[in-house]
Every structure is written in structure tokens, then in C-alpha cells.
Amino acid sequence: MRHPIKYLGVDKMKHKIFKTLLAAVLATMTFCAEADTETINGIEWTYTVKDGKASLESGGCLDPAIPKSTSGAITIPSTLGGYPVTSIGGRAFFGCSSLKSVTIPNSVTSIGRSAFYGCSSLKSVTIPNSVTSIEDRAFQFCSSLTSVIIPNSVTRIGEYAFYDCSSLTSVMIPESVTSIGDWAFDCCSSLTSVTISDSVTRIGEYAFYDCFNLTSVTIGNSVTTIGDYAFPYCNSLVSVTIGEGVTGIGFRAFCDCDSLTSVTFANPNGWWYANSADATSGTAIPADSLSNPATAAKYLKSTYLYYYWFRTE
């Protein structure tokens, strides 16, 4: 019999709801700072300067760095006030719902928290190879964004980075990325394929939650941890390849993946399951069972769904 609490995921869902609400509040908060402005091509850009570098952000706390009414295609200037623009600061384009495309200069190294939050008409973003981090909620609720090319320079994709980008159809995670944050692609309902490179070591909790059009996932050999609820409700997911580096699969990681029929373990040896994330021992899962893709799929999505999986070398 299914344990009612574990089946409903009450504790996890409460945690998710609380964290979502808290993060939404935090997304609307920023600290006031003295800011300068410069008008280029009819757009007034607001920025701050620190250590001789400019960051696109408003000193008005809740305002974006450009007028919210700005529409169409824009190119972020590489310099403002004579200073190189190296950062797209927090909330820089927050709620600019009429923007359709943005080109980021190669002087920029980071895309800040909630930078493009709620840019619901944004269809394309050109991210240069200079960018190393995409921070939390950077593109949350960019519901028109259909594709994004993450350059090889990016090492981190933050929490909720592409949350509810409901038009996003495919994602290539480059070799440079080492961590995919919790909820990073949650509710990307049009996402059909994901390739996770060999450089990624962790797939966060709820990372691909409710991506119900996702059909295939290839998990690179460097991934060691697949977080709790990483791929739940991916109803169209048919096949998964789990790299040889994976040593932990979280609680209900593939729950309600009703179409999942094939799971290929690059290394089927040494797996066991337990009912605690802190367990040091548990019940062994036969390697010959996990060598059969159909059996492995059944184990992950139903038989041993309500447990934590571990692999001991």
C-alpha cells in the first residue's frame, strides 16, 4: 500500500509552496542605490557603478533599468557613462512585458536575479560567451521565449532561472555548466528534449517538474545527484539515460512519468534504496534488473518510487 503522506508528497509540496511564495516576495525586493542615467537610441538606461564597472539596475528599488513601456528589439549598450557594462543587475528588465528580443554585449559576465522576470513577450535572447552565471529567476515567466542558447562560458543556472517559460521547446546545457538549480526549468510545458552535458554534477530538486511534453532526457556521466522530484509529471517522457557518475536519485524523482518505458543505467551495479536521504545502508537492487531498460523504468517510476536511491562503488 502506498504510504499516504509520501504518496501525496505533503511535506515536499508544502515546502515548495512556501519557497515559491517566499521567492516571489524576494523577487520584488532589491536594495536602493545611487544610480546614473544615460539616453541611447531613445532609451533611458539606469545604471550603477562600482569599481569602474557599470551594472544595469535602478536606484529606485522597484523600477527596472529602462522604462517599462519599452517595446520591440533592443541591444544593451556595452558602455554607460564611459564604464563597461559587465552586469545585468537584479530586476533590470523586470516586468518589461513588451520587449521581444534582447541582445547582450560581450562585456557582460552575469545575468542577475529576476533580470528578465515577467518579460512575457520576449521571444529571443542572445547571450554572449562572456556570461558565466544566470542567476535565480533570471527568465522566470518569459512565456514567449521559444529557444535559448546557453553559451559555453556559463557555469551556473540558478534556481527558477527559466521557471514557467512555457514556450521553450529545447535546451542544450553546455559543457561549462556544473549545476542546474532547483526549479530551474519547472513548468516549461513545451520542452520536448533536454541534453545535460558531462560537466553538470547536480540536477536540482524540481528542476524539470511538470515538463509534460518532455520525451527524452540524456544525463551526462559527471552528474552525481538527481534531486528529489527532479522530473515529476513528465507524462510524455519515454526514455532516460542515466550516466555512470550518478550515485544518488532523490525521492519520487520520476513520479507520474506514466509513459516512461526505458531507463538505461550506464552503471547498473551497486544500487540500493532506503527510506531516508541520510541512510548509509539499505536494500540492494539487483544489477541484472537494472540492466533491463523496461525493468529499470518500472522500478524508478513505481516499484521503488517512494525511496531514495544510492549507488556504492
At residue 274, what is the residue type? Answer: A
Quote the pLDDT of residue 284: 97
Mean pLDDT (whole number) for 199-217: 93
Mean pLDDT (whole number) for 212-216: 91
How far apart CA 154 and CA 128 sit, in angstroms, is: 10
How far apart CA 30 and CA 60 sit, in angstroms, is: 9
How far apart CA 112 and CA 100 sit, in angstroms, is: 19
Phi, psi of 207 (to 5 degrees): -55, -40
Mean pLDDT (whole number) for 272-288: 97
Quote the pLDDT of residue 218: 85
Mean pLDDT (whole number) for 235-252: 94
Quote the pLDDT of residue 33: 57
Quote the pLDDT of residue 148: 85
Among the listed ranges 5-14, 98-107, 136-145, 250-259, which one has the minimum average pLDDT value? Answer: 5-14
Of residues 96 and 218, more confidence is placed in: 96
How does pLDDT run across 9-64, given as a tens digit for each residue?
Answer: 445 454 555 555 555 444 444 445 578 999 999 999 999 999 999 999 976 557 89
How far apart CA 14 and CA 9 sit, in angstroms, is: 8
Kindly tell me if the per-residue pLDDT of 276 is higher than 70.
Answer: yes
Quote the pLDDT of residue 20: 53
Quote the pLDDT of residue 60: 54
SS3 (DSSP) at 257:
coil
Residue 100: exposure state from Cβ atoms within 10 A (0-12, 13-18, ≥19): middle
Kindly tell me if the per-residue pLDDT of 311 is higher than 50.
Answer: yes
Q: What is the pLDDT of the chain when averaged over all its residues?
A: 89
Domains of the chain: 1-168 (3.80.10.10), 186-313 (3.80.10)
Quote the pLDDT of residue 27: 47
Of residues 172 and 273, more confidence is placed in: 273
Which position has the grid cell 562560458?
Answer: 153
Other CB atoms within 10 Å distance of the CB of residue 69: 8
- Give 209's pLDDT tier (boundaries 50, 70, 90): very high
pTM: 0.84
How far apart CA 237 and CA 214 sit, in angstroms, is: 5
- Give 196's pLDDT tier (boundaries 50, 70, 90): confident
Of residues 293 and 6, more confidence is placed in: 293
Mean pLDDT (whole number) for 105-126: 95
